[in-house]
Amino acid sequence: MNELNQARLRYMHEVIVCGSIRGAAEKLDMSPSVISRQIQLLEKEVGLPLFERRARGLAPTEAAEMLEEFLRGYRAQHEHLEDRLHALRGMRRGRIEISLSEGMIEALMTHALAPYCQEFPDIRIGINTASVDEVVEAVRSDRVHIGLAFNPPQHPEVRVRAKQRIPVGALVRADHPLARRRRAISIKELLQHPLALMTAPYGLRRMVDMLEFTEKIHISPALTTNSLGVLRHYALSGAGVVLMADLGVTHDVANGSLVLVPIDHPVLHQAEMQLMVRLGRPLSTAAAELLRRIESRLPLFTGRI
């Protein structure tokens, strides 16, 4: 097979993203007939159909998915070459994308990102908070260089660079009855109080789903949210109990406003925070240096907490 035409691969990618030739043409400001013709030529190059017509548009065939994977790898290699050249000029340019669980923002900024930004002010950094499934997918699809997620599912295309267990406990206001317990509480004791939980597909909620399956129970929360901030304020209000790992509430626990009560159940002791990259992706010099600092400076991964 001859060298693949990069422009045609780009057109194919846009058709996959948009779900139609017309949508891709509008996005690229081109004629749909031009896009269609280029897709036909690409199909002739590879000798296989690239799309199947469905009720809601075009769906990529297995061949198109393989070409899409090739295009991601090509772009990653191109980015790697470009950033290596930038590194020769003293890391004066470059961009790093990070996707992470909300609870890691404070630790990341304090111990790794703020010092990094001060040292390399011309490196542009994008940070996006997301659910655990979104973080894993962003890493797998090369939308981000680095992912930090709480209790993520395993994925064969994602490499875990560092991990640490963070047990899930009952977060309550200091004057809550559970705060006076001098021992780990049972699930039965926990369920005697109104609960606030994260929504699916966040890592904290996945732990609750595992708990329900293991104990053959159904937990009906008084409040659900996709925000750790909302959970924090719920606990501070005294309205009930929040199932929470020691993430994003460090200062409240340290100053005595909130108490994180241990829960006596093995499922809730298995949760992990994981630092992830895509398996086989060559990171830029700037991204590799930030990854090294996260591994070596975050107290969570160095055992200094």
pLDDT of residue 305: 46
168 phi/psi in degrees, rounded to 5? -90, 130
Q: Specify the range with the lowest mean pLDDT, choosing from 129-133, 158-162, 291-295.
A: 129-133
Give 79 or 261, the one with higher predicted confidence.
261
Q: Are 277 and 145 in contact (CB under 8 A)?
A: yes
- Looking at residue 201, what is its pLDDT? 79
Residues 107-152: pLDDT tens digits?
A: 899 999 999 999 999 899 999 999 999 999 999 999 999 999 998 9
Q: Are 163 and 274 in contact (CB under 8 A)?
A: yes
| Residue 24 buriedness (CB in 10 A; 0-12 / 13-18 / 19+) | buried
- Alpha-carbon gap, residue 231 to 249, rounded angstroms: 10
Q: Compute the average pLDDT of residues 280-302.
A: 91
| Mean pLDDT of all residues belonging to the chain | 90
Segment 205-264, tens digit of pLDDT: 888 889 999 999 999 999 999 888 899 999 999 999 999 887 767 788 888 999 999 999
What pLDDT does residue 188 have?
94
Reported as a pLDDT band with limits 50, 70 and 90, residue 88 is low
